[in-house]
Structure 1
């Protein structure tokens, strides 16, 4: 069975629960502290693996305790981690996360060893692309690495899903070769350099983006191409922690698409996975398995 290939970041998340987010210069008391495995790349890899797809990941961790933990977790999740290496001279990536009582979060990422992934590393791992049914990317590793990953996928006719987070400017060469671009509203405006969502959509389509899947949080998702547009409503849940909702969506979407679901159906499946994830604390601990998503959808349909 062909795999989902994830090229991206691995972080350890240091999470503080607080009644609200502090203002600039303000100190407040938090109530809880947790250490969770994270990183957008690893989150999306775990999300896809738990939904039931074979997953390979290419990435870097530091030669430290956090790095060893992340390698062990990847193995426990059934992810092919032969292309995840520990490097000296940089710590494992970290994310400092504050979660307020209403489930909203703020995140500061320290990239660390994620910056050590190179285009040469991808060339050395080219055999992983030969086994892939889809390539999943984010923006927590150097942009030249993402560009090389897109080039390799394009050469081998592998569809590319790009989640442009954290939001930053993306070379047009990458955008034109991505099959599905999956931004949230903030990322959509920033990467397009436009003031509103409609202008942003038109600008990205004009640059050659084939398909947009804009995640809208509690408002669902918007599917946009040059030919059609469709809104996928969100499922109503009470959020506890939204940290990995987008990653859950991306991983589940990739699995559903590679298993033959049409995009609207795949997006609804991914929305269900994301809805479940926000009802649980943490990044990877919140990600559902396939049977949970199927049960949730069955209950919603009923």
Structure 2
């Protein structure tokens, strides 16, 4: 696993690099700037809820050359990082061997589906929450899952997953709609920061490992359940072995079913 990211040559950047190296991440695509400081975002926590104050610094973004991976995960980018989107418009059609996982951030949602149409068109797995799906599709009022799933799928993604907080998530692969519940846990959440990222990345990893969609969907909520039991987005992340252990001991009601309203 490698990471393409931009950070400063400062203490925060050094701390980030230490974590990446410790976790065995390929850092060859990490770009560091002497003149632009590392982004610092602040999380305001109240009970299990949080508000994240985001400040993106303007790095000299460029899209480097690299060997096409089997999966590519695209998430939040700064408003000034449009050059990366532009490069992906050309790169993705040339590399059909790469399956794109797209979990849009705030600014990518604001950019609109028309501006990012080539990315939506070449997405393999798309994930967002219900409120974000309504924003993306331009709805002013709440919509049902079939409307939202089919609407996002019409933009190009092969698999669409829309999360719905404590009610789990619903997925659509073009032929069937599936529902996965939250992994049952009697403990109250401590901090929900990173729960959505944990879900998306874990489902993506399961698909990359060759798991069918109905199995991959069971992986995501387990990591989300663990992440909300610790402060921050990383402390509660589970290993593959731990996730498989939870799956083996899961209660009978934790299963994927066909979605019905």
Equivalent-residue separation in structure 2 for 1:267 and 1:151 (angstroms): 31
Give the C-alpha shift of residue 261 in structure 1: 0.2
Alpha-carbon distance in 1 for matches of 2:83, 2:165: 30
Q: Does 1:126 align with 2:71?
A: no
Partners of 2:92 and 2:155 lie apart in 1 by 20
Partner Cα separation in structure 2 for residue 139 and residue 283 of structure 1: 15
Question: Gapped runs of 5+ residues in structure 1?
Answer: 1-54
Give yes or no for contact 2:149–2:162 (8 Å, CA) kept in 1.
no
Counterpart selection for 1:116 from 59, 62, 81:
59
Q: 79-88 vs 206-215, which deviates more?
A: 206-215
TM-score (norm: length of structure 2): 0.84
Structure 1, residues 119-168: CA drift from partner, whole Å, max 9, x if none?
Answer: xx32x3323x2xx1100001224244134236424322211000012242
Q: Which moved more, 1:141-150 or 1:83-92?
A: 141-150
Match 2:184 to one of 236, 244, 257: 236
Aligned to 1:267: 217
Q: Which runs of 5+ in 2 are unaligned?
A: 253-261
State whether structure 2 residue 232 is matched by structure 1 residue 295.
no
Residue in structure 1 matching 2:95, options 156, 169, 183: 156
Moved more, 66-75 or 289-298: 289-298
Inter-CA distance 248–109: structure 2 relative to 1 (3 Å threshold): same
Other-structure match for 1:83: 29
How far apart, in 2, do the equivalents of 1:226 and 1:153 lie? 21
Q: Is the 8 A contact 1:218 1:236 kept in 2?
A: no
Residue number in structure 1 paired with 2:259 = none
Taking the aligned partners of 2:231 and 2:246, their CA distance within structure 1 comes to 18
Report which of the two has the higher share of helix. Answer: 1
Structure 2 Cα separation of the partners of residues 147 and 239 of structure 1: 39
In 1: Cα distance, 2:127 partner to 2:60 partner: 23
TM (normalized to structure 1)?
A: 0.74
Instruction: State whether residues 181 and 209 of structure 1, in contact with CA within 8 Å, keep that contact through their aligned partners in structure 2.
Output: yes
Deviation at 1:227, TM superposition (A): 2.0
- The runs of at least 4 consecutive aligned structure 1 residues that moved more than 6 Å come to none
Judge conservation of contact 2:89–2:118 (CA < 8 Å) in 1: no
Secondary structure at 1:160 match in 2: strand
Contact kept, 8 Å, 1:63 with 1:91, in 2: the verdict is yes
The match for 2:13 is 67
RMSD: 1.9
Supply the distance in 2 between the matched residues of 1:280 and 1:87 (Cα, whole angstroms). Answer: 32
1:171-218 deviation line (CA, Å, top 9, x unaligned): 222111111110111211111112333343333233333321111221
Partner of 2:233: 283
Show the 5 A alignment for 1:174-213. Answer: 174-194=119-139, 195-198=141-144, 199-213=147-161
Alpha carbons 2:121, 2:155 under 8 Å: kept: yes
